[in-house]
Chain A
Amino acid sequence: AQSVAQPEDQVNVAEGNPLTVKCTYSVSGNPYLFWYVQYPNRGLQFLLKYITGDNLVKGSYGFEAEFNKSQTSFHLKKPSALVSDSALYFCAVRDGTGFQKLVFGTGTRLLVSP
């Protein structure tokens, strides 16, 4: 069965500093990996995905993520954090079969201080 782990409940970073939100996964076969962001009382916004190809994926709002097959990780990164990046971030995975069911991690709250 596929699963996702986000080991940090919360990440604190100062504005202007680089940020990393960690995600590891377990899936049979080739993984399809996603990052979503959720603002309070809102649905999820798609940030980026890895399907195949280049291990470094660039997404919305300056975010990027690096797929590491040997470490089964897909950490979300941004070179310079903004206060407006403060939100709840979810990593998700689905396997490469035809069924599109996504499995989400428990979420990591990112708090960027001014």
Chain B
Amino acid sequence: GAVVSQHPSWVICKSGTSVKIECRSLDFQATTMFWYRQFPKQSLMLMATSNEGSKATYEQGVEKDKFLINHASLTLSTLTVTSAHPEDSSFYICSASASKGPITQYFGPGTRLTVL
């Protein structure tokens, strides 16, 4: 149980285009989902916290207009990187926390974004 998927697993796009990454909780309902960014050989940096049906809460320094987060249902959250630039290239990881039961965050497999 507690499986989180991400799609796509990797994406390459041209500078200036937008990219959408999906995060799904497959076997549990997640009222809260988290989006992280991980640079090579570094720890995870929390970008935003997403609660179903409400606006995401962004961490300091994260541009909410650039990284659009939508959490439309209890099993799906999306991160859209708008007008992507090479410096947005990174490994993006989502996690989900169940609405009931344990408070553990379960992580998706990550999405490698490369902006040319």
Contacts of B49 in A (CB 8 A): 100-101
Partner of B93, one of A32, A43, A100, A106: A43
Are B107 and A101 interface neighbours, CB within 8 A?
no
Can you give 22 contacting A-B residue pairs, CB < 8 Å? A34-B105, A41-B110, A41-B112, A43-B6, A43-B107, A43-B109, A44-B107, A46-B2, A46-B104, A46-B105, A46-B107, A49-B102, A90-B43, A90-B44, A94-B103, A100-B32, A100-B34, A100-B105, A101-B34, A102-B34, A105-B43, A106-B42
User: Is B46 in the interface zone, CB < 8 Å from A?
Assistant: yes
B80-116: contact bitstring with A at CB < 8 Å (1 yes, 0 no)? Answer: 0000000000010101010000111111111010000
The 3 closest A-B pairs by CB, nearest first: A43-B107, A44-B107, A43-B109
A30-57: contact bitstring with B at CB < 8 Å (1 yes, 0 no)? Answer: 0010101000011111100101000000
What band does the interface of chain B fall in when counting residues whose beta carbon is under 8 Å from A?
Answer: 20 to 34
A96-108: contact bitstring with B at CB < 8 Å (1 yes, 0 no)? Answer: 0000111011110
- Write the chain B residue with the least CB distance to A46: B104
Partner of A42, one of B2, B4, B110: B110
Partner of A43, one of B2, B43, B104, B108: B108
Secondary structure at chain B's binding surface: helix, strand, loop or mixed? Answer: strand
Contacts of A101 in B (CB 8 A): 34, 46, 49
B4-43: contact bitstring with A at CB < 8 Å (1 yes, 0 no)? Answer: 1010000000000000000000000000101000000011
Contacts of B43 in A (CB 8 A): 90, 104-107
Are A102 and B110 interface neighbours, CB within 8 A?
no
**Considering the chains assembled together, what is the distance between the CA atoms of A34 and B95 in angstroms?**
14
**Considering the chains assembled together, what is the distance between the CA atoms of A36 and B2 in angstroms?**
14
- Write the chain A residue with the least CB distance to B111: A43
**Considering the chains assembled together, what is the distance between the CA atoms of A27 and B62 in angstroms?**
24
Contacting A at CB under 8 A, from B49-71, are: 49
Contacts of B109 in A (CB 8 A): 42-43
Contacts of B6 in A (CB 8 A): 43
**Considering the chains assembled together, what is the distance between the CA atoms of A106 and B91 in angstroms?**
16
